Amino acid sequence: MPPPRTGRCLLLLGLVLGSVCVTLGSQAQASLTTDALNVLLIIVDDLRPSLGCYGDKLVRSPNIDQLASHSLLFQNAFAQQAVCAPSRVSFLTGRRPDTTRLYDFNSYWRVHAGNFSTIPQYFKDNGYVTMSVGKVFHPGISSNHSDDSPYSWSFPPYHPSSEKYENTKTCRGPDGELHANLLCPVDVVDVPEGTLPDKQSTEEAIRLLEKMKTSASPFFLAVGYHKPHIPFRYPKEFQKLYPLENITLAPDPEVPDGLPAVAYNPWMDIRQREDVQALNISVPYGPIPVDFQRKIRQSYFASVSYLDTQVGHLLSALDDLQLANSTIVAFTSDHVSALRTNS
């Protein structure tokens, strides 16, 4: 894992979990037409505040922690909706789900609610080149199967080619066979295409930064990372950072007393994974074996550290290309994923 860069100098770094707030420093008050600042928006899927900068003593996140040390760090941020599509549409339009009328994945706000502008669309309409890499909008109907193109982006968004293997049989099990598992530490050279989606997204984002370095126009670059969203498919070396004997169980594993049935998520998407199916856990409240709980948390934390290295590579490129002094960086998660496990 590369160490955080010590010489990083950005005008303002916005670190947000649960909601996006891109704020401008005093140097950013110049005219858009003369001294416009670039914007790098990093969106992470299902990231909890399981980071060193939020006081977590176990998780190794040196690059994000370095970013946070020069940032406005939000301590009281909330997701509008605990599901990817409505949360992302909410903070990218600046409107609540009650306004966008999106609470799930099944509608496009411009058709069913209103032709609301997005943050990248605003920048695009004001002379910026706007670019999307990875998972920025949730794919599918909720972004019109186009990541809200052409409204939000100057050219078609980039999606990594290896994304299509995320839920396929690429996880080597103890039996030596390949499985579609929840827990999926991999040897990257052995997976299809010899790479992973977030690695490809970092490479593409750096390529775009190199291209924009010589551009006369300012840019808005949104980079969406998949991890630590399930499945926990990450380079296996990161698992070694978290020995199972160091992994604690969730402090609040029980279903709350009096919880309405409609409020409980029986995590059916997780139950479909082969390694979870093998546990034969009863629906909906069946307990997860304690040893598997530890493995889930181990792989989540390992996925966070893998993500952290990608953020480090991206920010290092911003430095190396001498774009740091003219770029605002904002970092956010779409919503908090649940590390609570029933026991």
Going from the C-alpha of 66 to that of each of 9, 62, 246, 308, the distances in angstroms are 11, 6, 24, 10
Q: Hey, how many other C-beta atoms are within 10 angstroms of the C-beta on 54?
A: 17
Q: Hey, how many other C-beta atoms are within 10 angstroms of the C-beta on 24?
A: 14
Query: How deeply is 237 buried, as exposed, middle or buried, from its count of CB atoms within 10 A (0-12, 13-18, 19+)?
Result: middle
Torsion of CA 219, 75, 67, 24, to 10 degrees: 40
Long-range CB contact pairs, 201-204, < 8 A, 24+:
201/133, 201/134, 201/158, 201/160, 201/225, 201/226, 201/310, 202/310, 202/313, 202/314, 204/133, 204/158, 204/160
* Dist. CA 329–CA 5, nearest whole Å: 15
* Residue 161 contacts residue 193 (beta carbons within 8 Å): yes
The CA angle 187-238-189, to the nearest 5 degrees, is 15
Catalytic residue status for 226: no
- Of the candidates 21, 70, 138, 226, the residue annotated as catalytic is 138
Catalytic residue status for 53: no
Cβ within 8 Å of residue 151, ≥6 positions away: 110, 117, 118, 121
* Dist. CA 39–CA 238, nearest whole Å: 30
- Of the candidates 84, 159, 179, 335, the residue annotated as catalytic is 84
Catalytic residue numbers? 84, 138
